[in-house]
Amino acid sequence: MVSEKVSLADLVFSLLEDGKSREDIEMTLREQGHDDKFIKDLVAEVVKLRYSKRRTQGLMFIMIGAIVCFLSFLLTITASYTSTSFPWVLYGLTSAGVLLLFAGFVKIF
């Protein structure tokens, strides 16, 4: 039989993914015989890492949404000087940009 060693950080990540609360994770680690201060520090760092990944993804969505909104603005200004129809630029791209912005805000907050 081969026993696999799982790091404590990976264990805490997997417990968070399973929907366990911080108290349940701390209790699980306490049952394994770890120090209370070590447990609190480890859980706090893992939660920080998890939220930093979501924050990075959210900021990327916000940046892409802002670029799409700016592109929509430029195309709308350009199309308004021609005789072509531009509602798809005005409403479509602007709506897509705003949706990306709000998706980013949802990821961050």
Structure tokens at 67: 């670029």
Convert the pLDDT of each residue in 82-106 to its tens digit: 777 778 888 999 999 999 999 999 9
Mean pLDDT of 49-54: 88
Euclidean distance between CA atoms 29 and 27, whole angstroms:
5
| Of 27, 33, 5, 4, residue with least CA distance to 15 | 27
Can you say whether the dihedral through the CA atoms of 25, 30, 34, 40 is positive or negative? positive
Task: Say which DSSP state 84 is in.
Answer: S
Q: Residue 71: which residues within 8 A CB-CB, separation 6 or more?
A: 93, 97
